[in-house]
Structure 1
Amino acid sequence: MDGKTWSTWSEGVSFGLENGMAVIPYALLKYYRKLNLSGSEAMLLIHLLSFRQVEGIEFPSLEELQVVTGRSISVLAGELQKLMKEGFISIDGDNDELRDIHYERYNFSGLYGKLGAYLATAVQENEQDKDKGAYATSAPRAAASGGGFGTPPISPSSLGDKEESRNLFSIFEKEFGRPLSPMECETISSWVDQDRYPEELILLALKESVFAGKVHFRYIDRILLEWARNRVKNAQDVKTYTQKFRNGGR
């Protein structure tokens, strides 16, 4: 840079720093799509955080948001309503008794909670993948040496099953036609880790819900509960139970 360019650049940086800096959660920038947020909705959240941190404005008006986003007031109002409806933000109200003023501010605990739940689920999935990878590499050695309680070598088909296991969340997203929410990911993890449903059974319940035209988690959970009560544990049990049900056996 020549002297003039360097001076202009440094003056610009100095001006920017004097205007303050906002601290934005990196997880929001990296994973907002995983939370089913659009780019404009994520940017709106960033602007709300920036107004609070830099300008001390905890409840910016629609007009103020319009100035920094360049978007219409009606669109901004719709996005704010969606963010509140889906629990990313809420509005807290309070009274300043000394000045007899009622004021409001945005509460971001919902956003932080959703980011935390997603990150916790991602860590759990990563640990499960590591455990499965360790089993896949150790089992063939045990079989070859005659150990491992007679564990047979892993066949290509069983490797395919394990790959499908790792893609359980992806299969659900494909059937739902959208990314899963953190709560939905937590539900699937609970089926596997707490309820101990075989993944084959979970996928069969998903298939049943698709056939019934009721592709939502509450319906799938009801199917799994009903199967558990009737000791349905695998594909053959599902087939037998379904035939019995359709023949009026219950």
Structure 2
Amino acid sequence: MKPNDNDRKRVERALLAGMTAGTVAVPHLLLRYYHRMKLSELEVMLLIHILAFQENEKKDFPTHDEIQDRMTTPQDQVIEAIQKLVNSGVLRIEQEIDSVSDIQYERYNLRPMYEKIASCYAEDLLQKAARQAEAQRSEAQPGREKDVYSIFEAEFARPLTPMELETITSWLDRDGYKEELVLAALKEAVFAGKVHFRYVDRILLEWSRNRITTVEQAKEFTQKFRGNR
């Protein structure tokens, strides 16, 4: 017997009610950063299923069978992916004891996943803040610090990190080193084959202790130092 329109509408309403009965709060930042966290689509789907079990069905430790029943992936791959998530520190399996029954049980803890997501987000915020600060400095002092950053990046053969950008700014603004003196210290570090910020900072500190404030004084001090070695 062919169903009439009323029957079809009743079935549709029932299906709609079922689909909207429960939702899973998937963190947007997980979808944004899972590639940076080196997670595969399979691993992300596993995390979402674990979230669904915990939020909607109150199952803190769904079995491999329960998870695999809702996926197209073979069970051996599901088990392997879960183990990888645990080994990489994204997922944690904890053992707890029920306070009422005194029975030991296991549960999945997703906090490590949230911590890694937070780390990625914080890194983006710091980089954004550093770029904004650099843009503001460049507008306030055109052609000055921008050149310093570019020269450092050229010598290091890579973009500078937010902390490294802040270090250069600190040398110029807080410590009061002249731009040409900072670049002279960088040149000395390159000559010594020690191209890293700690060595440049050590050179600047040594020059400061010896009251060196110009590039000419720095050259004389360096030549004298090399001559005494």
Does TM, normalized by the shorter one, top 0.5? yes
Residue among 15, 19, 23 paired with 1:16: 19
Aligned counterparts of 1:99 and 1:191: Cα–Cα separation in 2: 55
**Closer, same or farther: CA 6–136 of 1 in aligned 2, 3 Å:** farther
Q: Is 1:106 paired with 2:108? A: yes
Aligned counterparts of 2:50 and 2:9: Cα–Cα separation in 1: 33
Q: What's the CA shift for 1:193?
A: 3.7
Residue among 156, 161, 176 paired with 2:150: 161
Residue among 63, 87, 111 paired with 2:89: 87
**Closer, same or farther: CA 94–194 of 1 in aligned 2, 3 Å:** farther
- Where structure 1 has 5 or more consecutive residues not aligned to the other structure, the ranges are 141-153, 173-184, 210-219, 233-249
**Closer, same or farther: CA 8–193 of 1 in aligned 2, 3 Å:** farther
Aligned counterparts of 1:78 and 1:26: Cα–Cα separation in 2: 25
Aligned to 1:46: 48
Aligned to 2:208: none
Write the mapping of 1:196-215 to structure 2, written as runs, cut at 5 A.
none
The answer (yes or no) to whether the contact 2:149–2:165 under 8 Å persists in 1 is no
**Closer, same or farther: CA 194–137 of 1 in aligned 2, 3 Å:** closer
Greater gyration radius: 2
**Relative contact order higher in (CA < 8 Å, ≥ 6 apart):** 1
**Closer, same or farther: CA 225–96 of 1 in aligned 2, 3 Å:** same
**Closer, same or farther: CA 224–83 of 1 in aligned 2, 3 Å:** farther
Q: What's the CA shift for 1:28?
A: 0.7
Q: May I ask how many residue pairs the two structures share in their alignment? A: 184
**Closer, same or farther: CA 9–194 of 1 in aligned 2, 3 Å:** farther
The answer (yes or no) to whether the contact 2:53–2:60 under 8 Å persists in 1 is yes
Aligned counterparts of 1:134 and 1:228: Cα–Cα separation in 2: 24
SS at 1:68's partner residue?
coil
The answer (yes or no) to whether the contact 2:130–2:162 under 8 Å persists in 1 is no
SS at 2:94's partner residue?
strand
Q: What's the CA shift for 1:109?
A: 1.3
The answer (yes or no) to whether the contact 2:95–2:105 under 8 Å persists in 1 is yes
Write the mapping of 1:85-164 to structure 2, written as runs, cut at 5 A.
85-96=87-98, 98-140=100-142, 154=143, 158=147, 161=150
Aligned counterparts of 1:127 and 1:36: Cα–Cα separation in 2: 25
**Closer, same or farther: CA 7–133 of 1 in aligned 2, 3 Å:** farther
Amino acid at match of 1:12: L
SS at 2:65's partner residue?
helix
Encode CA deviations 1:134-173: one digit per residue, 9 max, x unaligned: 2333434xxxxxxxxxxxxx39x949929x69xx9xx57x
SS at 1:92's partner residue?
strand
Aligned to 2:71: 69
- Where structure 2 has 5 or more consecutive residues not aligned to the other structure, the ranges are 172-181, 206-228
The answer (yes or no) to whether the contact 2:130–2:165 under 8 Å persists in 1 is no
**Closer, same or farther: CA 45–134 of 1 in aligned 2, 3 Å:** same
Over the aligned positions, Cα root-mean-square deviation in angstroms equals 4.2
Amino acid at match of 2:41: G
TM-score by length of 2: 0.62
